[in-house]
Amino acid sequence: MDRGWGFLIGLLGAVWLLTSGHEEQQPPETAAQRCFCQVSGYLDDCTCDVETIDRFNNYRLFPRLQKLLESDYFRYYKVNLKRPCPFWNDISQCGRRDCAVKPCQSDEVPDGIKSASYKYSEEANNLIEECEQAERLGAVDESLSEETQKAVLQWTKHDDSSDNFCEADDIQSPDAEYVDLLLNPERYTGYKGPDAWKIWNVIYEENCFKPQAIKRPLNPLASGQGKSEENTFYSWLEGLCVEKRAFYRLISGLHASINVHLSARYLLQETWLEKKWGHNITEFQQRFDGILTEGEGPRRLKNLYFLYLIELRALSKVLPFFERPDFQLFTGNKIQDEENKMLLLEILHEIKSFPLHFDENSFFAGDKKEAHKLKEDFRLHFRNISRIMDCVGCFKCRLWGKLQTQGLGTALKILFSEKLIANMPESGPSYEFHLTRQEIVSLFNAFGRISTSVKELENFRNLLQSIH
């Protein structure tokens, strides 16, 4: 009997607790929830969800992609870091050691890479191997068949055509140098403040499809950004057509990806013997925490996933170009070149199998005249952004900024060249659609950076959960 009364009293007490308003007291959000609670489920303008991307990238794609990018063909990138800024003269150069880029010595780069800018056919590659001096670049062109020479001329003309989304470096310039990307990794360099934010302000304020009346502080650490201003900003974004909205989200996704890299490879400790790089949780929270960024941080992370889907779709579309028997990842090491091409095709077939690809058919699907103008505006805006990268004061940031914008520009070029890719011959030179080695290296390395960001988000999520 006493036990029955005890049970009844306990039950009444529980009822009182439930009806007295205590159910409204929810536990405070954890640090992980504040960054990631909104980064789940379906993405805007897409039929894909974040969880599917995480599983596909982190467990099926990321390890193989990293192995490919460590190969000689993809680790050496030729870039001109001395091009003047075309927009303003007052560039403050970063004086920190971590901002510096160490270019390769001539004998460090495989001869096949130095000699083969356009040479993908077996005929051209064999002729390169026979050259007595790798420096005699012109000799290769003189030895090519008439058909291949014609293709090279077409490719050169096409590279300068209106189909390109980037203003690429002149790799024949004396100022262009090879850089080993593995020895010059993207990480935090200390380049920040007004000079760094000037770059992103120009990109967002002048090159995104945004009414000039809409202004906001773009620095995620800036204070005073109220909810009303935040809602105003995203109200105009939601009112844009899908193409203009996608353009902003691509740039925001690229920005977010770069910030993830900087937070994941942060200088944590420096002594006279060594430097220790690693995950800076505080830095990550300042850039992506939902409270600290007043709701914008999680949106940035979702835009990163959107960028991932766009570049993933481009890689799935370009598979026929790399499947052609004439294409080689030529470095001069025949065995490694064949193995790397097999790995490349394995990766592309894996990408092709992704179940929820972005549907680009909704892009520029309206009135032909209006769609053509919109596409041209889209291309010019992005081309302008590629030029802004020459204004970055930190050379290492400039290197990776130029590479990633060229990679995204190449992905856009692929998406808008679907018919040209479909009409490529099965063998022999392709006159209509062509990718230079620079475009190939930037395309895969840029996607490798985004793939790394998605993987790092899992690492940060686990680190933030371990705090509480």
DSSP string, 232-244: HHHHHHHTS-HHH
Q: How far apart are CA 257 and CA 287, in angstroms?
A: 11
Question: 177-180 and 266-270 as β-strands: parallel, antiparallel, unpaired?
Answer: unpaired
Q: How far apart are CA 413 and CA 163, in angstroms?
A: 7
Find the catalytic residue in 99, 104, 166, 397.
397
Q: How far apart are CA 310 and CA 293, in angstroms?
A: 26
Active site residue 46: no
Q: Radius of gyration over alpha carbons of the chain, in Å?
A: 25
Give the chain's length.
468
> Known binder of ligand: residue 265?
no
Q: How far apart are CA 370 and CA 340, in angstroms?
A: 43
> Known binder of ligand: residue 55?
no
Around Cβ 174, how many Cβ atoms within 10 Å?
Answer: 8
**What's CA 384's distance to the chain center, in Å?**
17
Q: How far apart are CA 217 and CA 224, in angstroms?
A: 9
Around Cβ 18, how many Cβ atoms within 10 Å?
Answer: 10
Active site residue 394: yes
Residues 6 or more apart whose Cβ sits within 8 Å of residue 72: 110, 113, 331, 333, 336
> Known binder of ligand: residue 252?
yes
Q: How far apart are CA 136 and CA 128, in angstroms?
A: 10
* Cross-strand pairs, 177: 79
Find the catalytic residue in 35, 94, 166, 394.
394
> Known binder of ligand: residue 187?
yes
Which of 362, 404, 379 lies closest to 163, judged by CA?
Answer: 379
Around Cβ 440, how many Cβ atoms within 10 Å?
Answer: 21
Q: What CA–CA distances, in Å, run from 382 to 167, 346, 351?
A: 9, 31, 25
Q: How far apart are CA 174 and CA 463, in angstroms?
A: 46
Check residue 292 and report its DSSP letter: T
> Known binder of ligand: residue 200?
yes
Check residue 41 and report its DSSP letter: S
Which residue ranges are tagged as binding site?
A: 187, 189, 200, 252, 255, 287
Which residues are known catalytic residues? 394, 397
Which residue ranges are tagged as binding site for FAD?
A: 187, 189, 200, 252, 255, 287
